[in-house]
């Protein structure tokens, strides 16, 4: 089994599926808050509450989805059935999220709560089986690392499309990301239709053109409490939670471009540079792992990110060339970090199986998804709180000096602090590459 080589077609199918999923995810995560505050005209503090409690609930139901996945037994496996079933609902709820009716504020808020919750739960059904498949598709560690690296590159191409293309579509369809666009809300709806359908169609490739090869040896169904025995996973997720404020810089960048720079086209440049750096860094992320191992590669990426954001906060944003250069460095740190995180999570599936005799891809990756969602819940809620505290007004272009500084801090100061906080738990991470190789040798002699 360890010598099994994945075909290029299967790798591409899995990678393109990840790209499609990230197109949809980043469309919603990046634009939905701005859509609520500046198009649906919901107060920032209310939006902050919607973001936080919706994402918190979604984070809570992730483990439930993980347990459901691990209990699933079909002729297609325990992961593929969900990957085949979820694309159509994902497209539908993506579209509905950007269809807030032009009615009273209470109706708009209620609709936002319901539609955003439905989208979030549907996304959970797509995400946990997808990343579980990255481990079940092969138990060859080198193949896994290469697969995850390739998939994260595709995912970041999807992120680029999901972040950069929608504003262009919105403007071309008659909307504006600077002025009050409540009267042009159809531009957002049509954009969600285009992006939602294309992204979901690509995601369907994972369900129909991949195969589960690594199966549970024990007949006992894993219970969620066994994750308490997966110390490497718990340490990693604690680190990621402490870095939450860094993971919403795309949303912060949207406010920064539209308000501080008063030029929405700068967001395309800003986001493009950040994502290009992430994709570029992923090509040499495996080299970093070979040189330093996964723990040090993860830590070095955080240190690099801290330096970039801290310097940005100190020098300000008068010189945009300098700003873009620092964001490129930040993107490199994010790209390396991204590959290493998913590689480590996959390794901890083997760690847990070796320790307990039970293989639980669903629950392991549900905890990773839980953290990702909790990151966005905390990060987006924090953005809403800061905007409210500094007196942000979504329906006007000119803001107060305090509001401008608050928006800029979301792109500089707070991500720098988040990088430092993320380093603290990694002192307790002790799972080495050598230990993982020994575990694999014992599990699959």
Q: By C-alpha distance, which of 251, 151, 247, 250 is closest to 202?
A: 151
> Considering the chain, what percentage of its residues have pLDDT values greater than 70?
93
Token digits for 96? 């509905």
Query: Regarding predicted confidence, which is higher, 345 or 421?
Result: 421
Could you tell me if 118 and 168 are in contact, meaning their C-beta atoms sit under 8 angstroms apart?
A: no
pLDDT band at 221 (very low <50, low <70, confident <90, very high): low
Distance CA 362, CA 385 (A): 34
pLDDT band at 4 (very low <50, low <70, confident <90, very high): low
- The residue ranges of every structural domain in the chain are 8-213+221-443
Distance CA 411, CA 9 (A): 39
Where do the H-state alpha helices sit in 265-319? 265-315
Query: Regarding predicted confidence, which is higher, 377 or 208?
Result: 208
Q: By C-alpha distance, which of 260, 261, 265, 246 is closest to 330?
A: 246
Q: By C-alpha distance, which of 134, 58, 130 is closest to 348?
A: 134
User: How distant, in Å, are the alpha carbons of 88, 173, 249, 415 from that of 379?
Assistant: 28, 30, 9, 10
pLDDT of residue 400 exceeding 60, the answer is yes
∠ at Cα 279 (275, 283), nearest 5°? Answer: 165
Most confident of 21-25, 144-148, 280-284: 21-25
At 95 the pLDDT is 96
Architecture of the structural domain at 8-213+221-443 = Up-down Bundle (1.20)
Token digits for 436? 């993982």
Helices 231-242, 413-423: crossing angle, 10 deg rounding = 160
Distance CA 218, CA 198 (A): 39
Instruction: Return mean pLDDT, the chain.
Output: 85
Q: By C-alpha distance, which of 110, 109, 114, 117 is closest to 42?
A: 109
pLDDT in tens, 123-178: 988 888 888 887 778 777 777 777 878 888 898 889 889 988 988 888 888 765 44
Residue corresponding to tokens 């984070």: 59
Distance CA 425, CA 371 (A): 15
Q: How far apart, in Å, do the first and last CA atoms of the chain sit?
A: 9
CA torsion through residues 14, 19, 20, 26, sign: positive
pLDDT of residue 3 exceeding 60, the answer is no
pLDDT in tens, 87-115: 999 999 999 999 998 888 899 999 999 99
Provide Rg for the chain, Cα atoms: 21
HSE of 372, CA atoms in CB hemisphere, 13 A: 22
Distance CA 325, CA 307 (A): 12
At 180 the pLDDT is 44
Q: By C-alpha distance, which of 265, 208, 249 is closest to 76?
A: 208
pTM: 0.71
pLDDT in tens, 283-299: 888 888 888 989 999 99
What DSSP assignment string belongs to 235-271? HHHHHHHHTGGGGGHHHHHHHIIIIIS--THHHHHHH
pLDDT in tens, 224-272: 678 888 999 999 999 999 998 887 787 888 889 888 888 877 888 888 8
How much is the average pLDDT of 367-391?
Answer: 84
SS3 210: coil
pLDDT in tens, 302-357: 999 999 999 999 999 989 999 999 999 999 999 899 889 988 988 888 888 888 88
Secondary structure E strands in 40-94: none
pLDDT band at 432 (very low <50, low <70, confident <90, very high): confident
SS3 359: coil
Cβ neighbours of residue 58 closer than 8 Å, sequence gap 6 or more: 117, 120, 121, 123, 124, 373, 377
Q: By C-alpha distance, which of 74, 80, 379 is closest to 208?
A: 80
At 2 the pLDDT is 47
At 218 the pLDDT is 47
User: How distant, in Å, are the alpha carbons of 59, 103, 117, 193, 330 from that of 28?
Assistant: 16, 22, 12, 12, 22
What DSSP assignment string belongs to 80-112? HHHHHHSHHHHHHHHHHHT---SS-HHHHHHHH
pLDDT band at 361 (very low <50, low <70, confident <90, very high): confident
Q: What's the burial of 424, exposed, middle or buried (CB within 10 Å: 0-12/13-18/19+)?
A: exposed
Distance CA 195, CA 222 (A): 37
pLDDT of residue 391 exceeding 90, the answer is no
């Amino acid at each position: 089994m360890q010598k099994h080589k994945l075909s290029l077609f299967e790798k591409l199918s899995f990678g393109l599926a990840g790209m499609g999923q990230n197109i949809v995810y980043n469309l919603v995560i990046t634009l939905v808050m701005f859509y609520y505050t500046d198009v649906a005209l919901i107060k920032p503090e209310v939006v902050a509450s919607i973001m936080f409690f919706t994402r918190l609930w979604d984070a809570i139901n992730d483990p439930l989805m993980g347990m459901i996945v691990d209990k699933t037994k079909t002729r297609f496996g325990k992961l593929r059935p969900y990957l085949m079933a979820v694309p159509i609902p994902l497209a539908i709820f993506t579209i509905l999220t950007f269809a807030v009716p032009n009615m009273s504020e209470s109706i708009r808020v209620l609709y936002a709560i319901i539609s955003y919750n439905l989208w979030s739960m549907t996304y959970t059904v797509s995400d946990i089986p997808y990343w579980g498949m990255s481990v079940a598709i092969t138990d060859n560690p080198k193949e896994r690392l290469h697969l995850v690296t390739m998939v994260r590159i595709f995912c970041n191409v999807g992120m680029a499309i999901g972040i950069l293309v929608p504003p262009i579509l919105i403007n071309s369809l008659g909307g504006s990301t600077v002025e009050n666009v409540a009267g042009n809300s159809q531009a957002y709806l049509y954009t969600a239709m285009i992006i939602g359908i294309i992204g979901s169609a690509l995601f369907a490739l994972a369900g129909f053109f991949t195969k589960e090869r690594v199966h549970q040896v024990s007949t006992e169904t894993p219970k969620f409490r066994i994750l308490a025995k997966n110390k490497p996973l718990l340490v990693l997720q604690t680190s990621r939670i402490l870095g939450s404020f860094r993971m919403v810089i795309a949303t912060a960048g949207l406010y920064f471009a539209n308000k501080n720079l008063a030029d929405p086209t700068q967001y395309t440049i800003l986001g493009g540079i950040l994502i290009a750096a992430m994709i570029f860094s992923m090509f040499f992320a495996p080299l970093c792992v070979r040189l330093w191992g996964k723990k040090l590669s993860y830590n070095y990426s955080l240190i690099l990110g801290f330096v970039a954001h801290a310097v940005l906060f100190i020098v300000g944003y008068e010189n945009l060339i300098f700003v873009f250069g620092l964001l490129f460095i930040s993107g490199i740190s994010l790209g390396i970090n991204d590959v290493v995180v998913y590689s480590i999570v996959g390794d901890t599936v083997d760690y847990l199986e070796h320790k307990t005799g039970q293989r639980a891809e669903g629950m392991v990756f549900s905890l990773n998804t839980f953290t990702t969602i909790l990151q966005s819940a905390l990060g987006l809620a924090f953005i809403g709180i800061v905007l409210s505290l500094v007196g942000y007004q979504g329906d006007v272009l000119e803001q107060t000096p305090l509001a401008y500084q608050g928006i800029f801090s979301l792109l500089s100061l707070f991500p720098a602090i988040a990088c430092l906080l993320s380093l603290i738990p990694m002192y307790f991470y002790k799972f080495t590459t050598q230990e993982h190789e020994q575990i694999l040798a014992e599990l699959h002699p």
